[in-house]
Amino acid sequence: MRILFPASEVEPFSKTGGLADVAGALPVALASRGHEVRVVTPLYRTVPRAGLTQTARAFTLQFPFGEVPVRTWETTVAERVTVVFLDVPSMFDREQLYGDARGDYPDNARRFAVLSMAALTDAQAAGFVPDVLHGHDWQTGLAPLALRRGYARAFPHTRSVLTIHNLAYQGGFPKSALPELGLPWSDFVPGGVEFWDHLSMLKCGIVFADAVTTVSPTYAREITSPQGGMGLDGVLRAKQGGVVGIVNGIDTTEWNPATDVYLPARFSDADLAGRAVCRQRLLEELRLQPPAEGMPLFGVIGRMVEQKGADLLHAALPVFLEHGAAVVVLGAGSAALQQGWKTLAARYPLRVSVRFGYDTGLAHLIEAGSDFFLMPSRFEPCGLNQLYSQRYGAVPVVHAVGGLADTVTDLRGGDGTGITFLGATVDAVQGALARALELYLSPQAYAEVQRRGMRRDFSWARSAAAYEAVYAQGAR
Ligand code: ADP
């Protein structure tokens, strides 16, 4: 099959979260199954230019708000995988991907309308006729609609699939965006792109795509229920074929403790000795006192947003820190949410280390050196860090929601790979941490849990096969 794959962030070129990991790895996994994938993404200022070549395809998109000249660059990341970069300096040559300290960029509706339209226009210019248009999140929400309208002639047999990586980001804009983007008012209806008197780009994608998927079966159930649907559950339930949940894979080459270049020592499920070296390095690098005898080192990595439940940790951790446990934290994001960590670190300077910023090497070292990985997300579509942590022997402690529930098996069953808890409350988190301490006191039982996690298969091959089945359904 030929797959057109517009995405607003793609590893290793641009990234704010898990979407980038998926857009970087899934195309490669699909290509190794024989498909041809064309990824289309913005040429942000931060995209490294090395290895990119400018193409002869330049075109101008016509919008009521104005003309947008687009030049394109491309590179081949694997056999049958081309990544096309949209060079539109007025829109993408900026400090960050979606916004700055003042908030989201005010012209995001236009910026990502350009991504959706340019992906289709560029494919047409290149003579790439896709069997499937596979878009991601609100940033590509206009593409399935465009496929049914302006591009229906060029691509009459192309099916569209939209994957929701996080329902919390809906791409809502004032309705004045409709005429600016050239959408008719007849679309501004509850069965169309209207959502609470705004234009919702995510809803647009959901309504007009032939199939909708999300990144875990449990999250698929959650978002089709009134409790988890954020107002879109009705639209999602109405989709023919339902919402298909497919758990993300991980890049098992980048995330392999036996070959990881970021680590001072390597290890595997057969020989865990190198882990102690990584733990030591982590403590030294972050200038932490080693935890008290028999007490664990906890690791936390993630965007600093309300979703990730850091406030629960701020309240739950002190009693464990008092007893000599330690915690390392890495995260980028809102200043307000950094404050809770700063307060904790000031109170326990030798037990708590907090790094704000984005640091891939440190992320690897935290997975390799911490004893438990904490992820009390209030909701979590899939989550990647708990997958890395299982592969690296950092036993995950997670809130049993979304992808966390689907990928971490609690110890209680006897074949567990981690500790899960129900309810986003401080009590529940403390109960789970107490269970972690108990497990840690029995080195043999702890090592068994580590090994079971390390042997789990989280490769992309399985997920790619599941996407292939969605693509094939009802192929036109
Ligand atoms: P989300 O997509 O909600 O941010 P995921 O767990 O699905 O959460 O994916 C987050 C990805 O970003 C993972 O690959 C994680 O390792 C990485 N990551 C997040 N924050 C940082 C950071 N501050 N430094 C390095 N990597 C980070």
More confident residue, 304 or 445: 445
Six-digit token string for 75: 């590179």
CA of 360 to the centre of ligand 1 (A): 9
Whether pLDDT at 476 is above 50 = no
Q: How far apart are CA 370 and CA 372, in angstroms?
A: 6
| pLDDT (0 to 100) of residue 240 | 87
Task: For residue 345, give the H/E element and its range.
Answer: helix 335-347
Closest Cα to atom 16 of ligand 1 = 385
Strand partners for 410: 418
| pLDDT (0 to 100) of residue 311 | 94
Q: How large is the average pLDDT for residues 374-390?
A: 97
More confident residue, 209 or 358: 209
The alpha carbon torsion through 319, 320, 321, 323 (nearest 10 deg) reads: 90
Provide the residue count of the chain: 476
CA of 431 to the centre of ligand 1 (A): 26
Ligand 1 nearest-atom number relative to CA 165:
2
| pLDDT (0 to 100) of residue 474 | 60
Q: Kindly state if the Cβ of 14 falls inside 6 Å of ligand 1.
A: no
Closest Cα to atom 4 of ligand 1 = 17
For the segment 416-438, what is each residue's pLDDT rounded down to a tens digit? 999 999 999 999 999 999 999 99
For the segment 63-94, what is each residue's pLDDT rounded down to a tens digit? 999 999 999 999 999 999 999 999 999 999 99
CA of 18 to the centre of ligand 1 (A): 6
Superfamily of domain 273-457: Glycogen Phosphorylase B; (3.40.50.2000)
Among the residue ranges 239-243, 245-249, 323-327, 394-398, the one predicted with the least confidence is: 239-243
Q: pLDDT band for position 155 (50/70/90)?
A: very high
CA of 443 to the centre of ligand 1 (A): 29
Ligand 1 nearest-atom number relative to CA 356:
23
**Helices 460-472 and 18-31, axial angle in degrees (round to 10):** 80
CA of 58 to the centre of ligand 1 (A): 34
Q: Strand runs (DSSP E) across 45-201, as ranges? A: 53-63, 66-78, 81-87, 99-100, 103-104, 132-136, 159-164, 172-174, 194-195, 198-200
- Residues in contact with 107: Cβ distance below 8 Å, sequence separation at least 6, in sequence order: 91
Angle, CA of 109, 115 and 402, to the nearest 5°: 80
Q: Kindly state if the Cβ of 330 falls inside 6 Å of ligand 1.
A: yes
CA 256 to chain centre: 19
Q: Kindly state if the Cβ of 408 falls inside 6 Å of ligand 1.
A: no
Ligand 1 nearest-atom number relative to CA 377:
3
Superfamily of domain 2-249+461-471: Glycogen Phosphorylase B; (3.40.50.2000)
For residue 248, what is the DSSP state? -
Q: Indicate the pTM of the whole model.
A: 0.93
Q: Kindly state if the Cβ of 377 falls inside 6 Å of ligand 1.
A: no
**Fold match flag (2-249+461-471 vs 273-457):** yes
Given a contact cutoff of 8 angstroms between Cβ atoms, the answer to whether 312 and 340 are in contact is: no
CA of 447 to the centre of ligand 1 (A): 26
Q: Kindly state if the Cβ of 361 falls inside 6 Å of ligand 1.
A: no
CA of 450 to the centre of ligand 1 (A): 21
CA 22 to chain centre: 7
CA of 26 to the centre of ligand 1 (A): 17
For the segment 267-322, what is each residue's pLDDT rounded down to a tens digit? 999 999 999 999 999 999 999 999 999 999 999 999 888 899 999 999 999 999 99
DSSP 306-349: GGG-HHHHHHHSHHHHHTT-EEEEEE-B-HHHHHHHHHHHHHST
Q: Kindly state if the Cβ of 12 falls inside 6 Å of ligand 1.
A: no
Six-digit token string for 414: 């006897």
Q: Kindly state if the Cβ of 383 falls inside 6 Å of ligand 1.
A: yes
Domain borders along the chain are 2-249+461-471, 273-457
| pLDDT (0 to 100) of residue 331 | 94
Q: Kindly state if the Cβ of 358 falls inside 6 Å of ligand 1.
A: yes
